[in-house]
Amino acid sequence: MTLQLFAHPFSSYCWKVLIPLYENGTAFEYRHIEHEGVFAELAGYWSIGKFPVLRDGDKTIVETSAIIEHLQIHHPGPVPMIPADPDAAIEVRMMDRIFDNYVMNAMQPLVNNAIRPEEKRDPYVAEGVHAALDKSYAWLDAHMAQREQDGREWAAADQFSLADCAAAPSLFYADWAYPIPAQFEHLKAYRARLLARPSVARAVDEARPYRSYFPLGAPDRD
């Protein structure tokens, strides 16, 4: 039975799952949310209607981290996303949540607000989002500086992992919405390393045709 991924190429959380699929050359059917009838079919499996959603036979798996754990167990490839060592796995899962919660979700209110009709926008959103991202960027820069000193190029443990799958789209879009300040050179260098990774570069390229969708206005750069 072919794996089916209900996804959209511009969606940050869809990238998070596409990256491990591309890393491992895992075969799957890409069910593009904009294609006719696809969203209705997705909603039949997951009434919350968020994506990506993975169908594996008659099983529905939602939430990106759970999907990646499922892929690792049932469709393993050469690049495991969660280390076998229990402590390393905790470190990876902790950094996954840090990128999801303190970068991706922290930025989201800015995007949600921009989608609203102009007269219904909340004028106090940006201030809060910027304050939150300032803290996140500062902590992540110090974290990546320490990682570099330890001879590590990725976010957690000793390998490219689930944490980097979360980092790539969150740092990509957060830097568009509220640029990482120049002084955070370790974080900026990490973002550049992520974008140079072929699986991430592929996700970035597939999203190019949709850049006009970015509610805050996509800058003319990656």
- Binding residues for a copy of itself, rule: CB under 8 A, are 47-49, 61-63, 65-66, 69-70, 73, 86-87, 89-90, 93-94, 97-98, 101-102, 105, 109, 116, 120, 122, 124, 135-136, 138-139
Cβ atoms 155, 99 nearer than 8 A: yes
Strand, helix or coil for residue 160: coil
Omega within 30 of 0 (cis) for the link into 52: yes
Q: How far is the CB of 165 from a copy of itself (least distance, A)?
A: 15
Distance CA 211, CA 108 (A): 17
The β-bridge partners of 54 are 5, 61
For residues 136 and 161, which CB has a smaller minimum distance to a copy of itself in the complex? 136
Q: How far is the CB of 80 from a copy of itself (least distance, A)?
A: 13
Quote the tokens at residue 85. 């060592």
Q: How far is the CB of 71 from a copy of itself (least distance, A)?
A: 10
The β-bridge partners of 6 are 31, 53
For residues 167 and 197, which CB has a smaller minimum distance to a copy of itself in the complex? 167
Q: How far is the CB of 79 from a copy of itself (least distance, A)?
A: 18
Q: How far is the CB of 8 from a copy of itself (least distance, A)?
A: 18
φ and ψ at residue 171, rounded to 5 degrees: -75, -35
CB neighbourhood size of 54 (10 A): 26
Cβ atoms 75, 20 nearer than 8 A: no
Lookup result for tokens 């469709």:
75
**What's the farthest any 2 CA atoms get from each other in the chain?**
52
For residues 27 and 73, which CB has a smaller minimum distance to a copy of itself in the complex? 73
Q: How far is the CB of 81 from a copy of itself (least distance, A)?
A: 13
For residues 23 and 56, which CB has a smaller minimum distance to a copy of itself in the complex? 56
For residues 66 and 192, which CB has a smaller minimum distance to a copy of itself in the complex? 66
Quote the tokens at residue 173. 């879009």
For residues 19 and 61, which CB has a smaller minimum distance to a copy of itself in the complex? 61
Quote the tokens at residue 163. 């944490």
